[in-house]
Amino acid sequence: MFVACQGANSRGQVAKADINDGKLGELKRFLGGKDSPEVASPLAAAIGPNGELVVGQSGERTVANDSLLTFYNPNSGKLLLNLQTGLHDIT
């Protein structure tokens, strides 16, 4: 399970919890934080049709139309694709 998180720092992060035998594991930081500049205020997380983690990122609050749609490997967290949307605060 992936969760978009706000408030841990000014950039936000994506957390992950494993599900084993129908039980939810501990929620831990997966992406983001001060050491991860490619994660900028994630507001939504979903699994794409090919199994990739898709994250809607709102970008900076003071910059209009800078939202991103970003694709990651759900196992390693490797950045696969980063698309500018031209939208303000995508969710």
8-47 residue pLDDT tens: 556 788 999 999 999 999 999 998 765 555 667 888 899 9
42-57 residue pLDDT tens: 888 999 999 999 998 8
For residue 81, with 0-12 CB atoms within 10 Å meaning exposed, 13-18 middle and 19 or more buried, which class applies? exposed
Helix (H) or strand (E) holding 57: strand 53-57
Q: What is the pTM of this model?
A: 0.82
10 DSSP assignment = S
pLDDT reported for residue 66: 79
